[in-house]
Amino acid sequence: MSIGYATAYRAGIIPWEKASRQDRPTLEHLLDREEALRPDRLRSAIDLGCGRGANTKLLLDRGWDAMGVDNVRQAVDIAVRRNGLDDARFVIGDVRHLVHSGVGNRFDLFLDVGCFQSLGDADRTLMAGGVSELAAPDATVLIRTGGPRAWPVRPRQAVRHDIERAYRGWTVTAVSGIGSSDSTAPTRASSSRSGEWFRLTRT
């Protein structure tokens, strides 16, 4: 995974960043909801597979105590410089081994924009297990699937069944696209290059 993404960053082939910018209204809408559910306390979040840190910066700008984790050092270095953030806000680590990566624990929100889908089945389960260990009791996971992948990473798909299989003990709800439970969210078809969003809560 990291070799493919490192190659893509070096080559400047980063189409997922454009897709993420286009999908920003959906993410903003979903964050509005999470913030409304936690109005009176400091909210902590971790951006899984943060890349160059755009979503980590968004979370910080909205008042979250946020940090990003990614295993591509080049991307993390750019995240610090481009966003003007303290490098303590980022961890160069493996999302499959979150518990031992030094990111902390008791997170209210785990944001996953395209990270889950880039992993194989066994690695997805490892990451989900780490999330479960580090999550606060009322934590939420927001996952976006679909959209462009890094070349030469082998394209993968991730559908609701894949998320449910990895995230044991969590309830999975579609919040954009086909089958969405949120009629106010911007619509995304499950086959859209912009992806489909899912919200996970503890069962």
pLDDT tens-digit profile, the chain (203 residues): 566 676 666 766 676 666 677 789 999 999 999 999 999 888 999 999 999 899 999 999 999 999 999 998 888 888 898 888 888 899 999 999 999 998 999 999 999 998 998 899 999 999 999 999 999 999 999 999 986 555 455 557 789 999 999 999 999 999 986 556 565 655 544 444 546 999 999 98
Question: What pLDDT, on the 0 to 100 scale, is given for residue 23?
Answer: 85
| H-helix or E-strand spanning residue 136 | strand 135-145
pTM comes to 0.86
CA atoms of 176 and 171, how far apart (whole Å): 16
Q: Which pair of tokens denotes residue 40?
A: 């009176």
Question: What pLDDT, on the 0 to 100 scale, is given for residue 32?
Answer: 97
Confirm or reject CATH 3.40.50.1360 for domain 2-202, answering yes or no.
Answer: no
3-state secondary structure of 158: coil
CA atoms of 27 and 115, how far apart (whole Å): 15
- Nearest-Å Rg of the Cα atoms of the chain is 15
Count of alpha carbons within 13 angstroms of residue 161, beta-carbon side: 1
Question: What pLDDT, on the 0 to 100 scale, is given for residue 36?
Answer: 96
Q: For residue 161, which of 190, 127, 194 has the smallest C-alpha distance?
A: 190
